[in-house]
Chain A
């Protein structure tokens, strides 16, 4: 019995769920069965992931059934993948619990669920792939399945557009990944990942760097590294809530998995600069991601940008780990790898949670526009509580899990001085500073992202009419529990991850990381230390004790309570609340250079010389810099190229025969050479 057996079970269950969904169509029990299977598989995957986290790799190359490529289906269970597998499992369970209340049973639902489970299976295969062919095939399968997921409601042009962005960028990324794999496998004459890893040193430095950069770019498309991120804000809003949750919670993470795979297993970089590049890319993505998130009023676009920020943080951690590795600071390197993986787990949990809650909000009010929501705390109390947990987590506020991982990452980066090289130290500190800015803005952004929709007064009748009964709760709640567990159980998690780090980097810092049972030390003593568990206990007590004292002692003096002083107005109106865009106006002014906002004040009666006899309409639009200055030109070039080579498509059979002949001739000549 080893994790792989469990994974076989999980994979099989997902396959079965996919088939069930396909057959079930709009038959409710069938769909429920499908979800049940999916949840079962998720649980199993979680178990397997946890197992391989605790007991390290299981390096059995399982000769599986033949694949389309003819090669054997090579599977294995590494503990680097373990954390991803566990995350995949939890997300799968949460989504499975969420779906039945979110999707009304219909023919489309069945197909959609089939696609979902196929995607889950493909993700599992990617993580468990022992061979390059297996990896690539399942990677592509995953992309296509996700494409189907995004196309759940293909009616609107928005959907098609978002799905197309996703597919296009995925395919470009895929090609680069293929190139990277081809290089390493050609240089190591192997296709099994283990073998490649073992012979990694055979790859000459130049090729190694090339392979790594190709992989970084290729996986960067999936991970949403700026400027390769444009598909996230396009695809996430149009996908159904659980679909976007899956995209952000798992698929994006697989991008970071790919980067880690190349960076730490296959071709550990020789010099420090690949690491610095990675770190820089991550830091920039983090800052730009959160800055754009602040300009979004669509909850899901907002969350998508925040995903960009978080993958940025993860990649920064990985990059720093590479740098330290290059400087032979194996302890710090392992430490940052651990921190990064921890953040993967955390972000996977709370971002999935938040996307599912965004779905609940859209379900209940019919809109995702923050400026049309408000006051949901009164209408959706349970969802509000759950969303609040997720918000605390993603804003990296103690005692939730986000704080733990970000604290670890900062502690790692602050020790950049240990590299000895001034330039490197400065760059690392710069990255740390960028992450600091990002962290601050993230709190700002999520005060907004939680406060505007959930607190205050409803801004529209629809928001006022939101109803909680019938809304999914179990799935998000599970994730909220997971977030809390990841915070309180940090020592356990870190223990497991340190074993992962040991198996990946070969350095074990178990005692160095956890001297006591519950205290964490960032790789080097005499730097800093803290205990997430104690912190949680303390914070809870700090809130609870005064509350108890207050409850115990009744207020003595007679007190009158009067409404808040409002200057004697007749009544507050929803229009008098901070709106999402006004709340973030200061950043718009501060980061003018980045946003290039175009402000327009319209009055219904601007043509009317009497003026001011109409509603004021104020808009400040942000220039989509990357879309306009990076992708538009490329797209134009491609279109131009297409026009240029159209003449080849004459439709004349003879001409086509000529093409065929020429190609064969070329191949022959090449073979002869």
Chain B
């Protein structure tokens, strides 16, 4: 548990830096490592009128050189290692990596000769956003967590529903 706690610490400090530096203007570069094209659709919709990413100070940028946050989808196909590494290295620090969708979190594809099965295998992931696909709302919440503007709720969730209770709050 200790190393992971150390990692958690580092991640928290990084997020504080990010929040301090980019809290109001953060630029996002997406990276598709083998998604089924649905996560991409949801990410595109983030900029659509219904969700309007920009109002929260997030912006998409095609150039990793200008990006502070890497939004990674897909199970991290091995054939994509070079591109993933290059994209990550091309970003100036401090930088955040957000793994997006069940594939990226090791859900759909097991680790095998095709895929690493988990973005964390290749890139240092700071925020994990579950969902297949994660809806734009989930993505917004994830981005909020990434810049430390929203509190994450998962530690509190148990996914235990009492016989009468429902909704998952323990």
- Give chain A's interface residues, CB within 8 Å of chain B: 560, 562-563, 565-570
Contacts and interface: CB of A to CB of B under 8 A. Distances in A.
A317 B54 CA distance: 61
A108 B41 CA distance: 73
A569 B85 CA distance: 11
B63 A568 contact: no
A560 B64 CA distance: 15
Interface stretch (B7-15, B86-94, B117-125): B86-94
B89 to A, nearest CB: 5
Interface in B52-85: 63-65, 80, 82-84
Nearest to A564: B90
Contacts of A568: 80, 82-84, 86-87
16 contacts: A560-B93, A562-B89, A562-B90, A563-B89, A565-B63, A565-B64, A565-B86, A565-B90, A566-B86, A568-B80, A568-B82, A568-B83, A568-B84, A568-B87, A569-B83, A570-B82
A563 B83 CA distance: 12
A175 B1 CA distance: 99
Interface of B: 63-65, 80, 82-84, 86-87, 89-90, 93
Contacts of B80: 568
A109 B65 CA distance: 58
- Chain B binding surface SS class: helix
B65 A565 contact: yes
A568 B83 CA distance: 4
Nearest to B63: A565
Contacts of A567: 83
Contacts of A563: 86, 89-90
Nearest to B64: A565
Contacts of A570: 82
B17 to A, nearest CB: 15
A461 to B, nearest CB: 25
Nearest to A570: B82
A328 to B, nearest CB: 63
Nearest to B89: A562
Nearest to A565: B90
Nearest to B82: A570
Contacts of B86: 563, 565-566, 568
B16 to A, nearest CB: 20
Nearest to B83: A568
Contacts of A560: 93
A404 to B, nearest CB: 41
A570 B79 CA distance: 10
Contacts of A562: 89-90
Contacts of B87: 568
Nearest to A566: B86
A310 to B, nearest CB: 43
Contacts of A566: 86
Among the interface residues A560, A568, A570, which one has the most CB atoms of the partner chain B within 10 A? A568
B76 to A, nearest CB: 13
A560 B90 CA distance: 10
Contacts of B65: 565
Closest 7 CB pairs of A and B: A568-B83, A565-B90, A562-B89, A568-B86, A568-B87, A570-B82, A562-B90
A566 B89 CA distance: 12
A560 B84 CA distance: 18
A311 to B, nearest CB: 48
Given A562-B89, A570-B82, 15 more contacts: A560-B93, A562-B90, A563-B86, A563-B89, A565-B63, A565-B65, A565-B86, A565-B90, A566-B86, A567-B83, A568-B82, A568-B83, A568-B84, A568-B86, A569-B83
A567 B29 CA distance: 12
A560 B92 CA distance: 9
A144 to B, nearest CB: 63
A566 B82 CA distance: 11
Nearest to A567: B83
B49 to A, nearest CB: 29
B71 to A, nearest CB: 15
A280 B90 CA distance: 55
Nearest to B31: A568
Nearest to A569: B83
A566 B65 CA distance: 11
A124 to B, nearest CB: 61
A55 B86 CA distance: 68
Contacts of B84: 568
B93 to A, nearest CB: 8
Nearest to A571: B82
A567 B84 CA distance: 10
B9 to A, nearest CB: 22
A560 B65 CA distance: 12
A563 B89 CA distance: 9
Contacts of B82: 568, 570
A403 to B, nearest CB: 36
Contacts of B63: 565
B72 to A, nearest CB: 13
Contacts of B93: 560
A615 B121 CA distance: 38
A211 B133 CA distance: 88
Among A560, A562, A563, A569: residue with most chain B CB under 10 A: A562
A167 B65 CA distance: 60
Contacts of B64: 565
A422 to B, nearest CB: 55
Nearest to B79: A570
A569 to B, nearest CB: 8
A620 B82 CA distance: 37
A570 B82 CA distance: 7
Contacts of A565: 63-65, 86, 90
Nearest to B93: A560
A570 to B, nearest CB: 6
A563 B82 CA distance: 13
A567 B90 CA distance: 10
